[in-house]
Amino acid sequence: MSLAEHIEHTLLKPEATAAAIKKLCLEAKTYHLLGVCINPCYVRLAKTELTGTPVKVVTVVGFPLGADVPAVKAAAAAQAVRDGADEVDMVLNVGAVKDGAWDRVTADIKAVVAAAAPRPVKVIIEACLLTDAEKLQCCEAIAKAGAAFVKTSTGFNKGGATVADVKLLAGAAGRLHVQVKAAGGIRDAAAAKAMLAAGAERIGTSAGVAIAQAETPGSKA
């Protein structure tokens, strides 16, 4: 499987324009990337741009802080699915994790999983803010709540994906039948390959074109 088939081409900047989203979708089609990851306001646009292609439309809820109440996250997820999202990436309640309030953490995820069903949900844990023990406990909560993936990072905090974190999460996630998405700071093919080798199944990156071009020298958008 090529690197492109693991990449969610990502544009989550607050200043992203409709024209930029259209360009992102065109790039994803051109380089046969797995999907695009965009803010909820652009789901309908992306779905229209990608109609008739296998490129997935992925969006985010509770992003980037994870501090919305579960009902708000669930409503956002349900709206995203109505608008055409194929997958939903949610940010969990990091404060609840730090409090050790695992029932709250799990309930938060369950609310989004139920609202997005049957679309798969990925849960962003913001690994740079957590201890290794908390990261592993997050995997347990994610599996218990019925989500499909644990995702390392929003890319909006003090750190992104690391090989060490992906290895740690993959070790737990595999046992729990959950997959790993690495995101945050993955800007070249070498970094993407390292994350896949460490156990990631998906790569979230704004550098999808550069990575695809590196894998296929001579290609141009």
List the domains of the chain with CATH numbers.
3-215 (3.20.20.70)
Walking along the chain (221 residues) 10 residues at a time, the average pLDDT comes out as 94 98 98 98 98 98 98 98 98 98 98 98 98 98 98 95 98 96 97 98 97 75 46
In angstroms, the CA 96 to CA 76 distance is: 20
**Active-site residue set:** 89, 151, 181
Q: What is the pLDDT of residue 221?
A: 46
Q: What is the pLDDT of residue 216?
A: 74
Structure tokens at 24: 């992102």
Return the H-helix or E-strand segment holding 73. Answer: helix 70-83
In angstroms, the CA 44 to CA 25 distance is: 12
Structure tokens at 3: 């690197």
- Ramachandran assignment for 58, one of left (phi > 0), alpha (psi -120 to 50 degrees), beta (any other): beta
DSSP assignments along 82-150, one per residue: HHT-SEEEEE--HHHHHHT-HHHHHHHHHHHHHHHTTS-EEEE--GGGS-HHHHHHHHHHHHHHT-SEE
Q: What is the pLDDT of residue 220?
A: 52
Q: The pTM is what?
A: 0.96
